[in-house]
């Protein structure tokens, strides 16, 4: 199995990055891998010894949390594909709006939004997802992620804050799950590749043609890919290293 341990990175930079959803599965992984790279402020709904409290649906709280930040990585959300509208309203609909507005008002250079391949889950399963695909969700969770992308596009078009929306695949830390869904291999995103994806999204210089907003696919370098990585590699400099077929060998 490939080693999932973070490799030594460059010296800590002065870049201040606020991370929402830091107590979630992806948030914990990103914080562990990148805390030594940036001046990272992890936040979540409930404070812990290492995580600040932040309700992402509270606009004023977001304004206070983002003051002086160079980048905001917004991972906080209800992650359930079976979530109801009431479940999603505050974290997945109000949250992205409040986060994007507060980030723009604070003069944040880069906002990274966690979207999902569920935003295009209504496409035929045999069709490889590309970053230019328009949202076509098959559930309310996917629709909430399409909303998040729309908020990101509006923010990038109307403010000085540039936005990267990450259509994240099936996240499992060190190997794909095995419950019969073939997408769990073709759309697998490993822990260290999730951290690399976020690093690239924060640090990349977007081309002028992006007009302040890009969508990127978030999967590992799997032998067979549910989502194309060519544009994500080219635009962000994303360099995934894990392959679902290799770890399952």
CA-only gyration radius of the chain, Å: 17
**Residues carrying an active site annotation:** 141
**Partners of 162 in the beta sheet?**
110
Cα distance between residue 217 and residue 130, in whole Å: 7
Per DSSP, the residues of 205-239 read ---GGGTTEEEEEE----SS-SB--HHHHHHH---
Q: Note the helical H segments in the chain.
A: 25-34, 59-66, 85-88, 95-105, 140-158, 183-186, 191-203, 230-236, 244-247
């Amino acid at each position: 199995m490939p080693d999932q341990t973070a490799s030594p990175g460059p010296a800590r930079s002065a870049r201040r990055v606020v991370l929402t959803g830091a107590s979630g599965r992806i948030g914990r992984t990103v914080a562990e891998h990148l805390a030594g790279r940036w001046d990272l402020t992890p936040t979540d709904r409930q404070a812990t010894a290492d995580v600040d409290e932040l309700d992402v649906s509270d606009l004023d709280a977001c304004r206070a949390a983002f003051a002086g930040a160079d980048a905001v990585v917004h991972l906080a959300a209800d992650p359930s594909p079976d979530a109801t509208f009431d479940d999603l309203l505050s974290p997945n609909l109000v949250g992205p709006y409040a986060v994007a507005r507060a980030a723009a008002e604070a003069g944040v250079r880069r906002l990274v939004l966690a979207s999902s391949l569920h935003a295009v889950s209504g496409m035929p399963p045999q069709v490889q997802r590309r970053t230019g695909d328009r949202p076509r969700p098959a559930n309310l969770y996917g629709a909430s992620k399409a909303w998040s992308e729309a908020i990101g596009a509006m923010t990038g078009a109307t403010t000085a804050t540039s936005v990267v929306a990450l259509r994240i695949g099936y996240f499992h830390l060190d190997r794909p799950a095995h419950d019969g869904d073939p997408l769990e291999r073709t759309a697998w995103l490993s822990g260290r590749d999730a951290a690399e994806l976020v690093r690239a999204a924060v640090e990349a210089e977007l081309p002028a043609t992006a007009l302040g907003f890009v969508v990127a696919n978030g999967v590992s370098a799997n032998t067979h890919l549910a989502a194309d990585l060519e544009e994500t590699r080219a635009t962000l400099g994303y360099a995934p290293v894990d392959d679902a077929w290799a770890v399952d060998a």
